[in-house]
Structures are given as structure tokens and as C-alpha cells.
Amino acid sequence: MTTDTTTGAPVLEATGVTMRFGGLTAVRNVDFTVNSGEIVGLIGPNGAGKTTFFNCLTGLYVPTEGTVRYKGTVLPSKPHLVTKAGMARTFQNIRLFANMTVLENVLVGRHTRTKEGLWSALLRGPGFKKAEAASHERAMELLEFTGLAEKADHLARNLPYGEQRKLEIARALASEPGLLLLDEPTAGMNPQETRATEELIFAVRDQGIAVLVIEHDMRFIFNLCDRVACLVQGEKLVEGTSDVVQSDERVIAAYLGTPFEGAPEDSALADVEAAEAAQSTTSTEGDTK
């Protein structure tokens, strides 16, 4: 169960977010808010548009319509600038630097919080050495926080799966975010690893960081979150406490595959999923150029 926490002003405000791929609409007019001190869940069946919506929030996609604000300021449409503003994320598929050590992976996450430039790095003056020492100290604090300090010198690829997930969270926290976005953090985990992840997310929230989670594990999400929203075919179907959402007949119907009023045809779902896959390939190719 969630623990009592005091929620405050909005950290994330998404207003009227719509994402189209050509003539196909993957996300339609979604309003969404995360307040400080909250853990908020985003659920929905496959093809609901959850990851597309995440990508709109974090600058990987530029929404066709709508705005995304972090602490009242409209976010730029570049992922590294979104991170610099104060939002960090993990991905559904692990994206660690496999041939770098655990410590080095976390140090990479510090890049948006270091001010030393190229010349400072080349000359290795006092300012650079001071910043390097501070980054190393903070990285080790985060590894201690996530239970990975004893494996700081191990290669990331040699970690067990559950610890690789923890390392992704540690790297995201290295950017000192005010909001952490987690895309299916327990995917592929056993029950013990899932419980450890739940405890880690509570600990992150207790550090004053708001959390937004996409997850398919309903028991995990309803135990974890203060509030849950359900997307179905790109639209927000319902939002509220865990009790409200899990008892909503439309949510039950969506997960069971039972048609409800306004539900799209299967062919429309397939078209949207194909468009999303094409867009993801294009984005990846653009990043490698």
C-alpha cells in the first residue's frame, strides 16, 4: 500500500496532448498532471498509446497538438533539454552502456549537472578536478541508495537483470530530477525483484522526487500509486485512486478485450501500432546520424 505523503503544486502539466502519425492518431487530447510528492501510474492495454504519450512528455516526440509544462514552463522538444529542465526517464528496453562500469554509467547521467567545458576537461584544472570529485561522490551515493555500491567497478552487462533496472534508475537520478518517469520498470522481473523495485520507488518519492510509472503489472501499480490514469486507444478513459480505477467497468472491459461504446476496430489499432514503430525507427536513425 502507498504511504501517506503530502502532495503539492503541479510538477508536470500536460494539456490537450495529441500525437498523430500521418492520418493516424495514437494519443488524443490527453490532459494529465503529476503533483510534487506523488507517485502516479499510467496503465492501459497494449496499443493504448502509453509509451507514445511518455515520448511526448520527454521530448522524443513533438506533440501534434497540446503543451507539456514542467513546473509551469513549457518544455523544449529535445530530450537532453527536458532532462536538464528536471525530468528524467528510464525506458521499456534497458539502455545501459554495456561495456562501461556501473559507476561510469551513473557518471554519464551527471552530464546535465556539470558546468565544466571542453577546455576545462583538457587542461584538468582545479575547477575540473573539483567537479569530477563531486560527481564521483554523488554517483557513489546513488549506488549506495540503489544497493549497487559494491558493484561500482563491475561492467553493466554483467549485472543480473533486476540490478540493471536499478542501475537505470540510479543513472536517471544522477541528473537530479524533480520528476522521474519509469517505463515498465518491473518488466521481466520475478516477485522478489518487483518488491525491491516497489520499495526503491517509495524511497525515491521520500527523497522529494515525484514519480510517473507505466506498468502492466496491475498488482504492482495499484499497491504503489497514489493515483492512476488509464489510457485506452490514446484517450484517457478514467483517472482516480486505485479503488476507483480498478472497479471501473470500462477498464475491466478494455483489459479483457470486451468491446465498449466508442472502442476502435482492431484494424485501426494495428495501423496506429505500425505508425508508432515507423516513427521510432526514424527517431533512432536520426539519433545515430
Straight-line distance from the first to the last Cα atom of the chain, in angstroms, rounded to the nearest whole number: 46
Cell of 276: 508508432
What integer pLDDT is reported at residue 271 of this predicted model? 61
Question: Looking only at Cα atoms, what is the longest distance across the chain?
Answer: 66
Q: What is the pTM of this model?
A: 0.82
Rounded Cα–Cα distance for residues 205 and 217 (Å): 20
Render pLDDT for 76-110 as a digit per residue (tens, 0 to 9). 888 989 999 999 999 888 889 999 999 999 999 88
What are the structural domains, with CATH classification, of the chain? 1-86+178-289 (3.40.50.300), 94-176 (3.40.50.300)
Tell me the mean pLDDT in the region 265-274.
Answer: 57
Rounded Cα–Cα distance for residues 54 and 27 (Å): 10
Beta strands, E only, the chain: 10-21, 24-35, 39-43, 65-70, 73-74, 87-89, 179-183, 210-214, 227-232, 235-240
Do residues 215 and 43 make contact, with C-beta atoms less than 8 angstroms apart?
A: yes
Parallel/antiparallel/unpaired status of strands 39-43 and 210-214: parallel
Beta strands, E only, 85-175: 87-89
pLDDT confidence tier of residue 111, bands split at 50, 70 and 90: confident
What integer pLDDT is reported at residue 264 of this predicted model? 52
Q: Is the pLDDT of residue 137 over 70?
A: yes
Residue 47: C-alpha distances to residues 20, 207, 218, 284 (Å): 14, 33, 17, 20
Render pLDDT for 177-226 as a digit per residue (tens, 0 to 9). 999 999 999 988 999 999 999 999 999 999 999 999 999 888 999 999 99
Q: Is the pLDDT of residue 284 over 60?
A: no
Hey, what amino acid is at 14?
A
